[in-house]
Structure 1
Amino acid sequence: MNNNNPMTQVVIQGEYKVSSNPNCKMTTVLGSCVATCMFDSTAGIGGMNHFLLPGGVDSTSEAKTYGLHLMECLINGLLKRGAMRSRIQAKIFGGAYITKGLPDIGSQNMEFARQFLAYEKIPCVGESLGGNSARRVRFWPTTGHAKQLLIHEPNLDKVEQKISRAQAVQKQPSADLELF
């Protein structure tokens, strides 16, 4: 990992990002959502997705937040950038049970991610799933290195929503606008 001019990409709910930049670090905060980090360290390419719900075949704009859609986008993004399918590995994070009395969406997300990777024959070389704590995940896509910090907060769903909203606001400046 080259620490000269590090670049951080924030991946919010319903997004995926792919990079071959050795200075890139991807980050996200998860509650019941799951993030999948996939990489081909030989090619120096990797990416992260962040999905809210496991799957669904739907033509609405909400389908873009589903795990099925984001997993396919991430794999295709890696392949387009030069990754070899046979070398792609994955690490998965998230799936906390955050709101007592409501359905355990986190467990559904975890199960989906594990089943998807098994079906696609993508080895899962690391995971941190479940529990009742949010996670901040940092991922270096060119090497596959990942770190997480558990966030012990009683209102995890509110934390995740607040962070996602703040990150979305940060993204809004247009590409041709340079902020100092």
Structure 2
Amino acid sequence: MIHETSDTTRKHFLFPGTLHVDAGECVITTVLGSCVAVCLWDTIKGGGGMNHFMLPLWNGEGLATPKYGTIAMEKLLEQVLAVGCKKERLVAKVFGGANILGMSQAACPIGRRNVELALGTLDDWRIKVVASDLEGMVGRKIIMNTLTGVVLMGRGKHKE
């Protein structure tokens, strides 16, 4: 069964360094390069959310914002649980971490480090990753429906 969104379905564009959570139906869209987006969804109740972080670790200086993976992951789980989702029913879908500048991963490992942070945190939390599309050389557009948990993904074109 395909669930189509109506004209009244809430929509949210997720900017880098932010997150969005909804207990009901909301279509969240974001665009990723080396950033990573983690989608959490409650498999029984529905509801969930997505983060979009740019750097893996907050160094303790300045504001602790979801620009950093360590903060974005904690806040996403906290807010998903606050809207009534249960940790034991959550699944994750993880996207991004591209090396879109074409530099060697040794010289510029931001994407890979973001991916490692996301996957490591989910593993620590014992939240199963049921889908992912990670690293590579192209950006991605992600669209998540928080009610159904369906995530659509498109890839950018690789520049020669």
The residue that corresponds to 2:92 in the other structure is: 90
Instruction: Write the letter of the residue equivalent to 1:45.
Output: G
What secondary structure does 2:81 align onto? helix
Percent sequence identity over aligned pairs? 33
The residue that corresponds to 1:8 in the other structure is: 11
Structure 2, unpaired ranges of 5+: none
Instruction: Write the letter of the residue equivalent to 1:97.
Output: N
1:140 aligns with 2:145: yes
Structure 1, unpaired ranges of 5+: 155-180
The correspondence of residues 122-161 of structure 1 with structure 2, limited to 5 A, is 122-152=127-157, 154=159
1:112 aligns with 2:114: no
TM-score (norm 2): 0.89
Rounded Cα–Cα distance in structure 1 between residues aligned with 2:71 and 2:144: 21
CA RMSD of superposed structures (Å): 1.7
TM-superposition CA deviations, 1:106-136 (whole Å, max 9, x none): 1111111111110111111110001101000
1:75 aligns with 2:77: yes
1:148, CA displacement in angstroms? 0.3
Rounded Cα–Cα distance in structure 1 between residues aligned with 2:69 and 2:47: 21
1:83, CA displacement in angstroms? 0.6
TM-superposition CA deviations, 1:43-93 (whole Å, max 9, x none): 221100000011224141264310110111010101110011111110000
1:151, CA displacement in angstroms? 0.7
Instruction: Write the letter of the residue equivalent to 2:67.
Output: T
Rounded Cα–Cα distance in structure 2 between residues aligned with 1:92 and 1:64: 16
1:30, CA displacement in angstroms? 0.2
Greater fraction helix: 1
The correspondence of residues 53-72 of structure 1 with structure 2, limited to 5 A, is 53-61=55-63, 63-72=65-74
The correspondence of residues 15-30 of structure 1 with structure 2, limited to 5 A, is 15-22=18-25, 24-30=26-32
Aligned length: 154
Rounded Cα–Cα distance in structure 1 between residues aligned with 2:12 and 2:65: 23
Rounded Cα–Cα distance in structure 2 between residues aligned with 1:80 and 1:6: 21
Instruction: Write the letter of the residue equivalent to 2:17.
Output: G
Instruction: Write the letter of the residue equivalent to 1:141.
Output: T
Instruction: Write the letter of the residue equivalent to 1:15.
Output: T
TM-score (norm 1): 0.80
